Amino acid sequence: MIKLVNVKKVFPGTVTPAVNEISFEINEGNICVFVGPSGCGKTTILRMINRLLEPTDGDIYIKGQKVKDLGVNPDQLRREIGYVIQQIGLMPHRTIEQNVALVPRLLKWPENKIKPRVKYLLEMVGLEPDKVSKKYPYQLSGGMMQRVGVARALAADPPIMLMDEPFGAVDPILREKLQDEFLKLQKEMKKTICFVTHDINEAIKMGDHIVIMNKGKLVQHGTPMEILANPVNDFVKNLLGVDRGTKLLELTKSEEMVERAEEIPTEISNKNCFILAIDPVQRALELMMKKDADIVGVHDGNKFIGTISWENIKKHINRISGDEA
Amino acid sequence: MEFEMDRFINTLIDRSPPHALEHLQLVLIPLVIAFIIAFPVAVLLTRQRFIKYTDRVMAFFNMGQTIPPLAVIAIFFPFLGLGRTPALFALTIYALLPIARNTLAGLKGVPREVKEAARGMGMSEWEMLLRVEIPLSMPVVMAGVKISVVLTSGTAALGALVGGGGMGAVIFAGIDFFRAELIIAGTLIIAAIAIILDRILTLLSNMLTPPHMKI
């Protein structure tokens, strides 16, 4: 869907490139998360995709077409790409309704189509249209404003969304909630999303694909699993943190680690500790601690398929985190 | 100096109105011209291409404010002579700075993230100027216009010295003939003009801005 080929950006007046020879591809319907310390060039990449910045070198393709060739006018391109930023940037002199209707109005939609669309969007992001439509942004809380920001970006139903630390300015509890809600929305929407964050946990949670960057260079990219299991160097290891192994357990489904067995061992049936095949392995760990067991049984539907043992999990973590943990 | 109530009221009611009308013209005409010049120029100076000229252009506007209007009239006397035209000219130059300065400040005060979001949504430079930057800077711009109105209302009294008419004629007559009634009546009317114009502009500004953004 989106492809970068040897993209390079050197800002005028600087020598070191902000983005250096980066190539990768984002598949349709995926969330691709760019993660790295500030100044690593992740935001610059985002801004090059919707041509707020032009690359010094290299090409960016959307659906196989160079963005450079997608019409002479970058404004037209931007209207077809959703854009959410950390500071939100709602128009303070416009009501919530007018803010959400911004892009449809720029695209000259008929008014009778805009009204129901705004209502639908506000409901979708969890706001009550009757209560907020006529309010101004200053009358909303930070979390509500961020929801309006997302609704505004989705207004014209763009196939692509660019999100620059969209949940960076809200408190951790609300952030979790917004993330969950957004993932739920994404399941239905299937947008192609470029997501920038400096929070590796957010990256692991949100990303179908993660791009790790440092000093303008691409350090590693892959699925969260691939990265957690095989970090290429110390930079990635440090970024993932020492709890890499347990983070992996959150992402690993029990069925992937199960030791197949036909009969239920007595220890398990006595303590009645079972989990589902689709539960993360972390769930097994939790159950072991709760029930003081060393082994749990795994069910796929109603069928017993095998066990996961404490020994096995330990080995698994050791293999991944090595001796650093 | 003596004070006769009859003469005071007579001045206020019978003698002043035509002068007040002239005075109003001496304020409004320069103000409109100054706005037509200063506002677009200041808008241009915030555009990427013209930012580098800001200091030079603002130095010109600063000068217009520093040189006393009478000196301007003296300098341009060979071209414009005496009467209404040089008075209007000098007052226009005098009114430029607050409008230009506040327009610059207003436009620069538009939050970065709002502009970033507006561009990211796909607004063209024109759409952004008309729908975001100008509406958001309106309260500050109008504050500048109000400063210019008050300044010009007072200064316009000097117009009378070069035959430009206005309330100055009444005040200077009072000074020449030692008549406090004329001086006070003239001053009161000038103050009234300044206050009324300021109120009208405030109402106008409020109509253009949502309630929470008034200053």
Q: pLDDT tens for residues B140-153?
A: 999 999 999 999 99
A76 contact B CB<8A: yes
The more confident residue out of A35 and A256 is A35
CB B200 within 8 A of CB B207: no
A51 contact B CB<8A: no
B129 contact A CB<8A: no
* Percent composition of chain A: helix, strand, coil (DSSP 3-state, to 5): 45, 25, 35
Compute the residue count for chain B.
215
Ordered by start, the domain boundaries in chain A are 2-248, 253-321
pLDDT value of residue B211: 80
Check A89 against B114: CB less than 8 A apart: yes
Q: Which fold has domain A253-321?
A: CBS domain Like (3.90.1280)
Set of chain B residues whose Cβ sits within 8 Å of the Cβ of A77: 122
Q: pLDDT grade, residue A325 (50/70/90)?
A: very low
Q: What is the mean pLDDT of residues A214-242?
A: 90
Place of tokens 């008419």: B165
Ordered by start, the domain boundaries in chain B are 5-213
Q: Looking at the predicted complex, does its ipTM rise above 0.90? A: no
Tell me the three-class secondary structure of B86-140, residue by residue. HHHHHHHHHHHHHHHHHHHHHHHCCCHHHHHHHHHHCCCHHHHHHHHHHHHHHHH
**Range scoring the smallest mean pLDDT among B33-37, B65-69, B183-187:** B65-69
Q: What is the mean pLDDT of residues B65-82?
A: 84
Tokens, residue A282 = 């972390």
Q: What is the mean pLDDT of residues A3-24?
A: 91
CA–CA distance, B110 with B133 (Å, rounded to integer): 6
CA–CA distance, A147 with A144 (Å, rounded to integer): 5
Tokens, residue A205 = 């949670």
CB count in 10 Å sphere of residue A200: 24
A318 contact B CB<8A: no
The CATH number of domain B5-213, selected from 1.10.3720.10, 1.10.1740.10, 1.20.1260.10, 3.30.460.80:
1.10.3720.10
B116 contact A CB<8A: yes
Of B124, B209, B212, the CB nearest to A138: B212
Q: Is the pLDDT of residue A153 over 80?
A: yes
Predicted TM-score (pTM) of the model is 0.83
pLDDT value of residue A321: 65
CATH 3.20.20.140 fits A2-248, yes or no: no
Of B116, B135, B210, the CB nearest to A89: B116
> Counting beta carbons within 10 angstroms of the beta carbon of residue A126, is it exposed (0 to 12), middle (13 to 18) or buried (19 or more)?
middle
Q: What is the mean pLDDT of residues B12-40?
A: 93
Q: pLDDT tens for residues A68-81?
A: 887 668 888 899 89
* Percent composition of chain B: helix, strand, coil (DSSP 3-state, to 5): 85, 0, 15
CA distance B128 to chain A (A): 11
